[in-house]
Structure 1
Amino acid sequence: MAKQAMSLVNVEKQGRSGIICLNRPEAMNALNLEMIRQIDAALDQFQDDPAVFCVVLTSSSDRAFCAGGDMRRVRELVLADQLDEAEQFFREEYALIERIAGFSKPYISVIDGICMGGGMGLSVHGAYRIATERALFAMPETAIGFVPDVGGSYFLSRMPHHCGVWMGLTGASVRGFDAHGLGISTHMTGTESLPALMKALCHSDHSIDDILTDLCVTNVNQPSILMLSDTTGCFSPLSLSTIAECLQKRPSKRKEAALRALRKASPRSLLESLNLLRNGKHLTLSECLEQEFEAMRMAIRHPDLIEGVRAVLVDKDHSPNWHSRSN
């Protein structure tokens, strides 16, 4: 089958693999509705093709796998009072995530570069997540007056040592063995191995597990997670005040960074995110996406989102004036 050149997502079949390549490098592959629909259409195509054994999601950029949803566009829609269109983006994004989680063929994400927010949603719910040494993972939504969505209340709430609550509230990033030990990536490989890995996934007759065993590091318990736990242990989801009090005791550089992030984030977003994460531990992915959808509907109607996206993504002065600070 000939390569289908799409403006934002390139789709092709190579050997036994269906390749979906995010191709919006100027925006670090920030997802918009067109991209969501193109990915969904590609899954339709590959699902129905008996010659396609597995699906591989990758990026045309070595800088970013996917930096998340296009929140600048969401802000524009909200400012234009086009809330239905803004909600439609999230509705279709969440439906795609649920589809990925239950996809009947092996779904493999090859993550090289920044992977945040929606990028986590496209990858972490799939069967295989292969990260390079350049992969960097984060859920930075509270900094823009939003909440950790895309199933974040499901996968973050299940991380050990409250690491997911720490990530979801502070926007802290992880990489390498930290991300690996948290289960964000299932395998690790060097960038120099990517050509051989892609060739094997597409053209080898070996099983995916055998290929990844040969070319990657598999998920094992790593001592680096225990090093994180001195800080993340403070994030038992009881209340924001107890988290802050814990961080202030026996301070360290990591605890001080976490406390600064909490003080800079939207107060409303922190409270809503903590509720989502507290509830999510006991819910299915589908139920988590449902509660996140309702949280999203409230967030896009609150001025903190407009202000947060302005401060971080539009004007980039990183000095938001939160409406909720005085509430």
Structure 2
Amino acid sequence: MTAVNATPDDAPALLRREGRAGHIVLDRPRAINALNHSMVRIMAGALDDWERDASVATVVLTGAGERGLCAGGDIRSIHDDVRAGRAAASAAFWYDEYHLNARIARYPKPYVAVMDGIVMGGGVGVSAHGSVRVVTERSRVGMPETGIGFVPDVGGTYLLTRTPGELGTHLALTGGAVGAGDALLCGLADHVVPSERLPEFTAALAGTDPADAVRRFATRAPEGELAGHREWIDHCYAADSVEEIVDRLHASGDRHAKEAAETLLAKSPMSLKVTLAALRRARELPSLEAVLEQEYRVSCAMLAAPDLPEGIRAQVVDKDRRPRWSPAELSQVTDADVARVFAAVDGPADDGGLRLL
């Protein structure tokens, strides 16, 4: 093992070298490695350095601790920024984070993401765009943003519109997390390695091509749950509005569909409608970069709406799990309200826009 002196011992992400592999370790285990701006900058710098370093053949991403790779972005910081009038700080974090997501997707060397345990939101952004994505029997992968008054970002609307049928729409709106089998079905991961063999797998990457390491350690994916629900999911989520989706779910007669309807009715009405519109638009966009540009504009617009700080308050700060959404009902969110969120997307790019294309 060769230490890299690019990060101090107390850095939130650690870098090290093992043979021909460069390792990035997200190192905030008490926060399930929630991403902050420093972590994004460390990762981006490592990718730049290792791309130019011929002695590095593979990049490996893991998370410290036993709970998961990454629980998402540091939403407590976003809440504090908004409350203190520092929304620009959160926008700057997203700017760099979304650039990192695009960088990972186009990285010229194998980027192995070990998606063990909890992988949510921003954790999906730094893993599911990689070229070799490994899940385990402990993995729970999801985009839970509608539950905090936000929308799927970090390229989530790109990934979730490339799933079979309407599975991605179901996951995006409900915020549901999936295990290993469904992560493979939805195209969020590629291989399953038993968690007990992860140390051997990552150690092998020091001198073994990732494709060979995967062949050595991967096992057959367990059966998921979503394939058996495709009929009602594809029918219900093909509707043109959130209200019609809820109506179809209630009318389907399937117990799981009814549960999904109740889940939706507990989410932010504004987030649900903006998310559905974002997904539909993402389907028509030509690339991940174009989708990330749209997501950046939408994310910044949501900073000015009341539901994001309120959702974080209810889930993370006060933990009363009783958000007071505004508007409170789906019927109160108009098409004009949603259109305003996307207005900047359709117009010329301004100085605050994300430029990836």
Q: Please indicate the TM-score interval, normalised by the length of the shorter structure.
A: over 0.9
In structure 2, give the amino acid aligned to 1:304: D
Shift of 1:237: 5.1
- Which residue number in structure 2 is paired with residue 10 of structure 1? 14
Residue aligned with 1:159, SS: coil
Find the partner of 2:316 among 313, 317, 323: 313
- Which residue number in structure 2 is paired with residue 299 of structure 1? 302
Find the partner of 2:196 among 192, 214, 232: 192
Question: What are the within-5 Å matches in structure 2 for residues 92-171 of structure 1?
Answer: 92-171=96-175
Find the partner of 2:265 among 263, 266, 269: 263
- TM-score, normalised via structure 2 length: 0.87
Q: Distance in 2 between matches of 1:153 and 1:30?
A: 20
- Which residue number in structure 1 is paired with residue 228 of structure 2? 227
Matched residues, percent identical?
38
In structure 1, give the amino acid aligned to 2:292: L
CA contact (8 A) 2:22 2:56 kept: yes
Shift of 1:226: 2.2
Shift of 1:44: 1.7
Shift of 1:36: 0.6
CA contact (8 A) 1:187 1:219 kept: yes
CA contact (8 A) 2:140 2:178 kept: yes
Query: Deviations for 1:254-280, whole angstroms, at most 9, x for unmatched residues?
Result: 212211211011100001000100011
Q: Distance in 2 between matches of 1:110 and 1:182?
A: 17
Residue aligned with 1:323, SS: coil
Give the total of aligned pairs: 324
Return closer, same or farther for 1:223/1:301 CA change in 2, 3 Å cut-off.
Answer: closer
Q: Distance in 2 between matches of 1:317 and 1:144?
A: 13
In structure 2, give the amino acid aligned to 1:81: G
Query: Deviations for 1:125-151, whole angstroms, at most 9, x for unmatched residues?
Result: 110110111110111101100000110
CA contact (8 A) 1:181 1:219 kept: no
In structure 2, give the amino acid aligned to 1:281: R
Q: Distance in 2 between matches of 1:218 and 1:290?
A: 36
Shift of 1:230: 3.4
Shift of 1:218: 6.5
Residue aligned with 1:115, SS: strand
CA contact (8 A) 2:81 2:87 kept: yes
- Which residue number in structure 2 is paired with residue 250 of structure 1? 252
**Pairwise CA RMSD of aligned residues?**
1.6
Find the partner of 1:36 among 35, 40, 54: 40
Question: Unaligned stretches of 5+ in structure 1?
Answer: none
CA contact (8 A) 2:232 2:252 kept: no
Q: Distance in 2 between matches of 1:89 and 1:237?
A: 34
Return closer, same or farther for 1:112/1:300 CA change in 2, 3 Å cut-off.
Answer: same
Residue aligned with 1:281, SS: helix
Give the stretch that moved more between structures: 2-11 or 27-36: 2-11
Q: Are residue 178 (structure 1) and residue 182 (structure 2) matched?
A: yes
Q: Distance in 2 between matches of 1:143 and 1:21?
A: 28
Q: Are residue 279 (structure 1) and residue 244 (structure 2) matched?
A: no
In structure 2, give the amino acid aligned to 1:115: V
- Which residue number in structure 2 is paired with residue 202 of structure 1? 206
- Which residue number in structure 1 is paired with residue 328 of structure 2? 325
In structure 1, give the amino acid aligned to 2:317: V
CA contact (8 A) 1:165 1:237 kept: no
Find the partner of 2:58 among 54, 74, 80: 54
Residue aligned with 2:257, SS: helix
Return closer, same or farther for 1:317/1:12 CA change in 2, 3 Å cut-off.
Answer: same
In structure 2, give the amino acid aligned to 1:249: A
Residue aligned with 1:142, SS: helix
Return closer, same or farther for 1:311/1:169 CA change in 2, 3 Å cut-off.
Answer: same
Question: What are the within-5 Å matches in structure 2 for residues 82-93 of structure 1?
Answer: 82-93=86-97
- Which residue number in structure 2 is paired with residue 72 of structure 1? 76
CA contact (8 A) 2:104 2:130 kept: yes
- Which residue number in structure 1 is paired with residue 352 of structure 2? none
CA contact (8 A) 2:61 2:114 kept: yes
Question: Unaligned stretches of 5+ in structure 2?
Answer: 333-357
- TM-score, normalised via structure 1 length: 0.95
